[in-house]
Amino acid sequence: MSLYEKYVLPKFLNCACGSKPVSYQRKKVVPLAEGKVLEIGIGSGLNLPFYDKTKTDEIWGLDPSEELSEMAKKVADQESMEVNFISSGAEEIPLPDDHFDSVLVTYTMCTIPEIQRANNEIRRVLKNNGKMIFCEHGEAPDRNIRKWQDRINPIWGKIAGGCNINRNIPSLIQQAGFDIVELEEMYLPNTPKIAGYNYWGYAVGKY
């Protein structure tokens, strides 16, 4: 791990992912999580203040970055929340099948190296009729914006910890065997269009 990845990147991600437009998006989806919850890519804990604590029985937070998880633990303490942290990537979730009522994924699918493996794992750990709740940025609908996304993506990924700005989020979810029940999308205000096209909603696995 480089010094940039260890010391600079966690703070950069915490700042970028904590902008006002992004925080407003989090407020829309995080309260939907209920029962036993697994958060994929819990990062620095930016979602924790938005949970509806009256609806959750237990919360697990998975992230490969120990530096970000340490930041999240401080937020959990501030919010008086009990969170079970797991240091792991999402491609092999070290948890049992059919365990969670909700899996929350926000601004994380862009970064997971093997996203289809991860989405298959999410489906595995969800209970029958459990919800995959998501809010992600990805491929824009406008041709000119997509061209720039494709051009900039290789450089963007190196700066932003492997983030991809041109992934087709709904397609990736559906390819893992999910039915998208609710889906909304738009460009976030006050956000560069190449990185600001958002998809959010929830999906359930096909059984």
Count: domains in the chain:
1
Q: What is the pLDDT of residue 19?
A: 83
CA 36 to centroid of chain Cα atoms: 17
Q: How many Cα neighbours within 13 Å face the side chain of 67?
A: 14
Query: Which residues are bridge partners to 183 per DSSP?
Result: 201
Q: Can you list the pairs that 141-148 forms with residues at least 24 positions away whose Cβ atoms lie under 8 Å?
A: 141/185, 141/197, 142/193, 145/193, 145/194, 145/197, 148/194
Q: What is the pLDDT of residue 7?
A: 44
Q: What is the pLDDT of residue 162?
A: 87
Q: What is the pLDDT of residue 145?
A: 98
pLDDT in tens, the chain (207 residues): 564 455 455 555 556 676 899 999 999 999 999 999 999 999 999 999 999 999 999 999 999 999 899 999 999 999 999 999 999 999 999 999 999 999 999 999 999 999 999 999 999 999 999 999 999 999 999 999 999 999 999 998 888 888 999 999 999 999 999 999 999 999 999 999 999 999 999 999 876
Domain CATH for 140: 3.40.50.150
Q: What is the pLDDT of residue 2?
A: 62
**Residue 125 main-chain phi, psi, to 5 deg:** -85, -10
In order, the DSSP letters of 150-164 are HHHHHHHHHHTTT--
Whether the CB-CB separation of 87 and 63 falls below 8 Å is answered with yes
Give the range of the structural domain holding residue 169, as residue numbers without chain letter.
3-205
Q: What is the pLDDT of residue 158?
A: 87
Q: What is the pLDDT of residue 207?
A: 64
Q: Is the dihedral of CA 35, 41, 44, 50 positive or negative?
A: negative
